[in-house]
Amino acid sequence: MVQVAGVLGLSSALLLLLHATALSGVSEAKPAHSRAGLQKGLRSASRQRPSDQKLVQQGDTWQAQATTEQTLDGSSAGSEQQAAPRYTRADILSVMPADLSRMSLVEASRSWRKGVRTYIIADKPVSEDVAAKAKLNRETWDVYTDIQKSEDMIGPRAGDLRAGLGPFIANNTLPADSWKWMLYGDDDTVFFMDNVLKLLNELDHNVPYFISDCIWWPMNGNGTKLHPNREAPRCLPCDYRDPLLDTGGCPGHSGWIAPKACPCTPSTIFQGDWDYGEPAMADGRGLFDRENSKFIIRPGDWNSPYQGWWYMIHGGAGAIISSAAMKRASFKDVEDFSLSIPPQSGDSLTHKIFWQIMDLAPTDPGYGFCRPHIQMFDLGFKGPRTRGPEDTGTLDQGADPLGVIERLQRALGATGKCDAECEDQLSHMISTHIRSRYAAIDLRQKEPIADPNEDGPPQYKAAVQVIEQLSQLYEQYSSKHADRAHYVPLWTD
């Protein structure tokens, strides 16, 4: 049931004004763990038949254990049918903060959100017309009041608290028992849903996951802040298998390998003497020493991931969160914590809540970890860029939706040729960030903006055009390659 909620105050007793019925059950058949598709850097010779795995809970952690043997196409030995997908769009809850002045972006995002329930946290109540359209598009609109007085603001912008608390506000109204996976991003974040489901069909929503590979991290430990940064601390899923990991062919990480863990916690990533002696990372890089005390990160220290330290997932790139993760803390604890700490951006607030309150650190999906040409969340092709004055001291390697459009057009035969690397990128991309404030500038370099005389900020009109074109091209591409059931190699040579 989709309704429009009233205003929620900042008190810990957040009113539950919306109710959602639990989704109908979906098949719990174990998904196949073999993947097909392009893998740059992998040998194309015949491979041994892999063994499927299952996750077995042992206390607060999960361990991968082999079960039935399976063939490369994902079917069990002696079987003629491939295991059915575990998850569908009905299992997904999309969550985004929104400002009513950017309503056109929310409406454009419906082009990729088909069949997906969406929870939108606005700055003020919506009109009856918006509420009627929301019901048709499986949207729940809610309101969380921004703090307007500058001395009381929790972040650089009035909406940062609302953005940072977004996943937790949604979970407080639509509890985690009514959905299995949450997609969290901005109103100008585009998720590529078929690729998302292929990824999730290799994971288990009963395991706490906070998933992204687009993470802010200072270059060389204390330099310019960069996202995505391949050096940023993270884990890999505990049951992830990849020949490149096994053979040591994993470039781009200064020789370190992320630990495999379910769940990924701060103590998994950072181990050693945390008494300001010589703290060491689990991967042995030793980045957190006394000389770099500005970047010391210690389990239990809420000062770890926040704006200024620049270790946080990038909100525009989005994140995928399992329902199990959202059961690790109450909304009261999360909101009280958020109101007790120094001001920061929405991105850093969300990350800090997961780190400190939920005891979770980011999990990398895996496939791009050993493949420098692959970025799954917010891929980009232009290299590090500083776009505007607000980016001073930072570099953005993502936010290249026009680059994605160009490659989709190549793959569909409209222009040029999409080579193996191009196909690999398209078949693994999870999200892209439009970064709407620059969309008009970017688009004018390619083609005129549609409806230039239409009322509204030109950057939003351009962003809407990009979102809708991306959604249309990806839908065509995904339909063309519908036979690609799996794409991450989980076999061993």
> Where are the chain's structural domains?
1-12+30-38+45-74+83-493
* Of the candidates 361, 7, 53, the residue with the CA atom closest to the CA atom of residue 210: 361
pLDDT at 486: 46
Q: What is the 3-state secondary structure (H, E, C) of the chain?
A: CCCEEEEECCCCCCCCCCCCCCCCCCCCCCCCCCCCCCCCCCCCCCCCCCEEEEEEEECCEEEEEEEEEECCCCEECCCCCECCCCCCHHHEEEEEECCHHHHHHHHHHCCCCCCCEEEEEECCCCCHHHHHHHHHCCEEEEEECCCCCHHHCCCCCCCHHHHHCHHHHHHHHCCHHHCCEEEECCCCEEECHHHHHHHHCCCCCCCCCEECCCEEEEHHHCCCEEECCCCCCCEECCCCCCHHHHHCCCCCCCCCCCCECCCCCHHHHEECCCCCCCCEECCCCCCCCHHHHHHCCCCCCCCCCCCCCCCEECCCCCEEEECCHHHCCCHHHHHHHHCCCCCCCHHHHHHHHHHHHCCCCCECCCCCCCCCCCCCECCCCCCCECCCHHHCCEEECCCCHHHHHHHHHHHCCCCCCCCHHHHHHHHHCCEEECCHHHHHHHHHCCCCCCCCCCCCCHHHHHHHHHHHHHHHHHHHHHHHCCCCCCCCCCCCC
Residue 35 CB partners (closer than 8 Å, separation 6+): 202, 486, 487, 488, 489, 490
Residue 455's Cβ-count burial label (10 Å; 0-12, 13-18, 19+) is exposed
CA dist 163 and 165 (Å) reads 5
98, 74 Cβ separation under 8 angstroms: no
Distance CA 263, CA 354 (A): 12
What is the reported pLDDT for 34? 29
Q: Which parts of the chain have pLDDT scores under 70?
A: 1-54, 65-85, 147-156, 220-223, 248, 251-256, 270-309, 389-390, 440-441, 443-459, 483-493
Please give the mean pLDDT across all residues of the chain. 74
- Exposed, middle or buried, 433 (CB in 10 Å: 0-12/13-18/19+)? buried
**Residue tagged 């007793």 (tokens):** 13
CA dihedral 293, 213, 382, 36 (to 10 degrees): 150
- The two beta strands, 280-281 and 225-227, are unpaired
The string over 232-265, giving b where at least 16 C-beta atoms fall within 10 Å of a residue's C-beta and e elsewhere, is bbbbbbbbbbbbbbeeeebeebeeeebbbbbbbb
Which is nearest to 362 in space by CA: 221, 264, 295? 264
The C-alpha angle 465, 467, 470, rounded to 5 degrees, equals 105
Q: What is the pLDDT of residues 143-198, one digit of tens each?
A: 998 765 445 444 567 788 899 999 999 999 998 899 999 999 999 999 999 999 99
Is there a contact between 184 and 351 (Cβ–Cβ < 8 Å)? no
Cα separation, 73 vs 71, whole angstroms: 5
Q: Are 194 and 478 in contact (CB under 8 A)?
A: yes
Is 209 within 8 Å of 321 (Cβ atoms)? yes
| pLDDT of res. 73 | 33
Give the Cβ contact number of residue 151 at 10 Å.
5
Q: Residues near 453 by Cβ (< 8 Å), separated by ≥ 6? A: none
Here the tokens at position 416 are 């040029």
Rounded Cα–Cα distance for residues 314 and 202 (Å): 23
Q: Which residues pair with 216 in a beta bridge?
A: 312
Query: How high is the pLDDT of residue 219?
Result: 74
